[in-house]
Amino acid sequence: MNVLVVGGGGREHALVWTLAKSPGVKRLCAAPGNAGIADQAECVPISAGDIPALVRFAREHRVDLTVIGPEAPLVSGIVDAFAESGMRAFGPSRAASLLEGSKSFAKGVMQEAGVACARSQTFTERRKAQEFARGLGLPVVVKADGLAQGKGVRICHTEDEISQTLSDMMEKACFGDAGRKVVIEEYLTGEECSILALVDGHTCVLLEPSQDHKRLHDGDMGPNTGGMGAYSPVPFINHALQKAIQEEIFLPVVDALAGRGTLYRGVLYAGLMLTEEGPKVLEFNCRFGDPETQAVLPRLKSDLLAHMLAVCEGRLAQEHLEWDERAAVCVVAASGGYPGKYEKGKLIEGLERAAQLRDLMIFHSGTCRDPETKRLVTDGGRVLSVTGMGRDIQAARSRVYSALKELSFENMIYRSDISDRSKAPGLRRSA
């Protein structure tokens, strides 16, 4: 089969790396890809948001399956566009993608489905939003309703912080139109985890759980980012809890959408807080997570392409996913200044030395080749996603940090505590 992966980050590199192992893949392309993806797939210079150009490319090159990585084209209706052209794309429709495209829409679906989540209300007027936040008690969580590249959530510990956040989002438009409407919700306490599931409209099959690290600095300090690392499996999520999450969260939401006439097909991502009352939903995403994908897919032993085709064809119930029992830890190496302003074009060194380590994968998130020197340079905030595998989390963690010592670029930053929470989980993290 001819397969096209849309996107150019670490998640898409992990998807390409995994799909390249499938015996069913004849030709593998990525749009636009990046310097690392170029080693395993043909990169074509089409942006992930240029839906008409992607449809034309897929038609002209007889692409059998297009796999959509980022959320923005999904929310914009790329899967619908492919379907209208008689082609197959892996991912939810525009209507189904509203689970990520609008937090208020997702809250409505969860309430209809009876899914546990934080108490909240949605506002378009700053004064009413601030009054509601004050009534919830401190701290409170303020979320931009629309897409904000994983950065549209702020935890406010004082009334001044609430006021400033609402001003930034609703008046100064720090997230563009995404923050004109906000969701104010209670602050939940517990351990956070990420659960991805394949969904074919009716059947849900959970992937192995992971735990993301959103804050920039060690100890979960600093601003929210798109994700600074993840690990899998999560020791405090057993099979019984996974079954409860499937039956009490995923299936009710998928059924609620189906009842509205919207079949959800693709990957459904639930960001959960494991509270004393049980798991509660923090957010839904309509695609593979980043960097969770870089920690989860290396553990998948069965054929991802076959599973994706089963999703598209509505026969997921016949599939059986097989997993490597070893653990995986992913650490993101980012540009100094991220998630704010940062410089690009910094020379990346040490990749060949790091790649010599066994059971290590280096997924490129923001890289390119310098047009003059052809050397590898930085081209984004998150630059590399380094994943190691080992007999347990500690062994995987050791391999990753050994590799990071071999890598360097100017102003490179990364967290030194990815996976530490696996040692002594407790009700101590909030979002």
> pLDDT at position 424, please?
57
Please identify which residue in the block is written with the tokens 């999450």.
245
Residue 303 near residue 234, CB atoms below 8 Å: no
> pLDDT at position 425, please?
53
Count the residues in the chain.
431
Residue 396 near residue 327, CB atoms below 8 Å: yes
Q: In the predicted model, what is the mean pLDDT of residues 93-121? A: 96
pLDDT level of residue 151 (50, 70, 90 thresholds): confident
pTM equals 0.94
pLDDT level of residue 251 (50, 70, 90 thresholds): very high
For the ranges 30-39, 77-86, 143-152, 196-205, which has the lowest average pLDDT?
A: 143-152
> pLDDT at position 138, please?
92
For 92, what's the count of Cα atoms within 13 Å in the CB-facing half-sphere? 31
> Is residue 126 pLDDT above 90, yes or no?
yes
At residue 142, the 3 state secondary structure works out as strand
> pLDDT at position 85, please?
97
pLDDT level of residue 149 (50, 70, 90 thresholds): confident
Separation between Cα atoms, residue 124 and residue 288, nearest integer Å: 30
C-beta neighbour count of 131 within 10 angstroms? 12
Give the whole-number percent of the chain exceeding pLDDT 70. Answer: 98
Residue 89 near residue 111, CB atoms below 8 Å: no
Average pLDDT of the chain, as a whole number: 95
Separation between Cα atoms, residue 7 and residue 232, nearest integer Å: 23
> pLDDT at position 42, please?
98
> pLDDT at position 224, please?
86
> pLDDT at position 429, please?
42
For the ranges 207-211, 271-275, 364-368, 419-423, which has the lowest average pLDDT?
A: 419-423
At residue 382, the 3 state secondary structure works out as strand
Q: In the predicted model, what is the mean pLDDT of residues 300-317? A: 98
Phi-psi region at 16: left, alpha or beta (left = phi > 0; alpha = psi -120 to 50): alpha
- Ordered structural domains, the chain, with CATH: 2-94 (3.40.50.20), 121-186 (3.30.1490.20), 189-324 (3.30.470.20), 327-415 (3.90.600.10)
pLDDT digits (tens, 9 = 90+) for 388-430: 999 999 999 999 999 999 999 999 999 999 999 987 555 444 4
Residues 6+ away with beta carbon under 8 Å from 295: 210, 230, 231, 232, 328, 329, 330, 387
